[in-house]
């Protein structure tokens, strides 16, 4: 090859690489909220195995913060520096999702599993799942016995999870191992994101990829604030808010806000007193749950902000369970904290449903609250 040709080709290849990189960067910068939620919802992030979500979160946070770092437990932390003496606000969206872990591989090639997070045994039966192996994802199903051969009492009882198994189509244990299955592999539900109407989306792991996506959107829109903002994608929330505990200790914020989902109790068979929050009626501001009684200053600030900005909101009291805010509030000498939630149907099941209007209003309220915090703290 002549020197001239070699030089032209080298320059051309460099140019192609630069254009491709710029394209990827621009694409990420102009991704809509729905596109970001879709990407986050579709990846595997079973509790304690949040790597794929962490990678996306770092990429999505980067353009809107001064620094992105990862701590010892795997929390991803985006830092937007504010004024020196202004309050430091920690936002938390948990990256993990409920799921399963391969416990044993039977000699016939079936996988027994343990549950991570609150999963109702009734929703497991006959589900399509993905076993996330080192060799890549493997399709599988949670096996079930056809009704034809079930005994009367079998039909009436709920099969406990430890009597269920995952079938990846392997003929025996050796074949399952050859396919890549190892004990301890995480297993996610095989559900893909979809927009089913103008305003409604369904998908996997909205608890709490919806909170993660809102956190990114909040930073994107947050133009002026004196506060330092820590945007934290936390790990292991579903098994006791472990990532929030360590990240809040390390960051030592002045205010904590968890962005999470809550039960939309507006489907048949749910009493208003058990779950009063409804889909499409705006962010839920939690007053008290099992882990946190929202600090009065935070509660007042969130309600005032919603009213001043004409953002619809719902108040929620006494929901069993808690969010990262509960753990943030107990860090060091204590951190005034609260939770803003997106009303979501069918949480802790394979597929959830939420309204984009609610997500938009949670984002608006979070942005406005951060701007208001210096006046209150
Ligand atoms: Zn959650």
Tell how far the Cα of 341 is from the centroid of ligand 1, in angstroms.
Answer: 9
Tell how far the Cα of 21 is from the centroid of ligand 1, in angstroms.
Answer: 34
Mean pLDDT of 280-296: 95
Q: What is the pLDDT of residues 223-273, one digit of tens each?
A: 889 999 999 999 999 898 999 999 999 999 999 999 999 999 888 888 888
> pLDDT band at residue 220, thresholds of 50, 70 and 90?
very high
Q: Token pair for residue 321?
A: 């369970």
The structure tokens 């927009």 sit at 195
Mean pLDDT of 33-46: 96
Say whether pLDDT at 25 is over 70: no
Mean pLDDT of 318-334: 92
Which CATH number fits the domain 32-97+204-376, given the four candidates 3.20.20.30, 3.40.50.970, 3.40.50.300, 3.40.630.10?
Answer: 3.40.630.10
> pLDDT band at residue 217, thresholds of 50, 70 and 90?
very high
Who contacts 64 (Cβ-Cβ below 8 Å, separation ≥6)?
Answer: 78, 80, 216, 219, 220, 222
Q: What is the pLDDT of residues 152-205, one digit of tens each?
A: 887 888 888 998 999 999 999 999 999 999 999 999 999 999 999 999 999 999
- For the chain, give the mean pLDDT: 92
Report domain extents, the chain: 32-97+204-376, 100-189
Residues with catalytic roles: 237
Say whether pLDDT at 86 is over 70: yes
Of residues 132 and 155, more confidence is placed in: 132
Q: What is the pLDDT of residue 148?
A: 81
Tell how far the Cα of 205 is from the centroid of ligand 1, in angstroms.
Answer: 9
Mean pLDDT of 331-359: 95
> pLDDT band at residue 377, thresholds of 50, 70 and 90?
confident
Of residues 14 and 214, more confidence is placed in: 214
- CA dist., res. 358 & res. 352, Å (int): 14
Give SS3 for 106.
coil
Tell how far the Cα of 214 is from the centroid of ligand 1, in angstroms.
Answer: 13
Tell how far the Cα of 321 is from the centroid of ligand 1, in angstroms.
Answer: 9
Who contacts 51 (Cβ-Cβ below 8 Å, separation ≥6)?
Answer: 45, 74
Tell how far the Cα of 94 is from the centroid of ligand 1, in angstroms.
Answer: 7
> pLDDT band at residue 274, thresholds of 50, 70 and 90?
confident
> pLDDT band at residue 278, thresholds of 50, 70 and 90?
very high
The CA-to-CA distance between both ends of the chain, in Å, stands at: 69
- CA dist., res. 377 & res. 117, Å (int): 35
Tell how far the Cα of 119 is from the centroid of ligand 1, in angstroms.
Answer: 13
Tell how far the Cα of 48 is from the centroid of ligand 1, in angstroms.
Answer: 14
Residues around ligand 1, an ion, CB closer than 5 A: 207-208, 260
Q: What is the pLDDT of residue 372?
A: 92
> pLDDT band at residue 21, thresholds of 50, 70 and 90?
low
Question: Are 365 and 340 contacting, i.e. CB atoms less than 8 angstroms apart?
Answer: yes
> pLDDT band at residue 1, thresholds of 50, 70 and 90?
low
Greatest pairwise CA separation for the chain in angstroms: 82
Q: What is the pLDDT of residue 373?
A: 92
Who contacts 329 (Cβ-Cβ below 8 Å, separation ≥6)?
Answer: 256, 292, 295, 335, 336, 337
Tell how far the Cα of 12 is from the centroid of ligand 1, in angstroms.
Answer: 48
Q: What is the pLDDT of residue 14?
A: 66
The CATH number that domain 100-189 falls under is 2.40.30.40
The length of the chain is 377
């Amino acid at each position: 090859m002549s020197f001239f040709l070699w030089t032209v080709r080298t320059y051309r290849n460099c140019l192609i690489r630069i254009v491709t990189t710029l394209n990827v960067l621009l694409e990420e910068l102009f991704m809509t909220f729905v596109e970001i939620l879709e990407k986050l919802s579709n990846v595997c992030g079973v509790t304690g195995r949040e790597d794929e979500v962490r990678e996306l979160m770092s990429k999505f946070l980067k353009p809107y913060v001064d620094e992105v770092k990862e701590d010892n437990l795997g929390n991803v932390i985006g830092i937007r520096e504010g004024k020196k003496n202004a309050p430091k606000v920690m936002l938390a969206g948990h990256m993990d999702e409920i799921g399963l872990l391969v416990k044993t591989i039977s000699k016939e090639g079936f996988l027994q599993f343990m549950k991570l997070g609150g999963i109702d045994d009734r929703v497991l039966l006959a589900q399509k799942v993905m076993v996330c192996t080192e060799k890549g994802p493997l399709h599988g199903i949670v096996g079930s016995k056809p009704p034809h051969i079930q005994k009367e009492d079998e039909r009436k009882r709920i099969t406990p999870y430890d009597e269920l198994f995952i079938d990846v189509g392997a003929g025996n244990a050796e074949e399952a191992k050859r396919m890549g299955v190892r004990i301890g592999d995480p297993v996610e539900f095989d559900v893909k994101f979809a927009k089913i109407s103008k305003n409604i989306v369904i998908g996997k792991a909205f608890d709490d990829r919806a909170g993660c996506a809102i956190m990114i959107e909040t930073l994107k829109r947050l133009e002026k604030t004196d506060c330092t903002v820590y945007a934290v994608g936390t790990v292991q929330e579903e098994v006791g808010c472990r990532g929030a505990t360590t990240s809040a200790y390390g960051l030592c914020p002045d205010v904590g806000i968890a962005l999470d989902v809550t039960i939309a109790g507006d489907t048949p068979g749910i009493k208003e007193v058990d779950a009063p929050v409804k889909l499409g009626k705006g962010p839920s501001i939690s007053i008290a749950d099992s882990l946190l009684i929202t600090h009065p200053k935070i509660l007042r600030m969130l309600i005032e902000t919603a009213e001043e900005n004409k953002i619809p909101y719902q108040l929620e009291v006494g929901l069993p369970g808690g969010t990262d805010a509960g753990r943030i509030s107990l860090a060091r000498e204590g951190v005034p904290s609260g939770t803003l939630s997106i009303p979501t149907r069918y949480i802790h099941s394979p597929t959830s449903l939420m309204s984009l209007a609610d997500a938009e209003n949670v984002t608006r309220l979070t942005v406005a609250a951060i701007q208001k915090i210096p006046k209150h703290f």
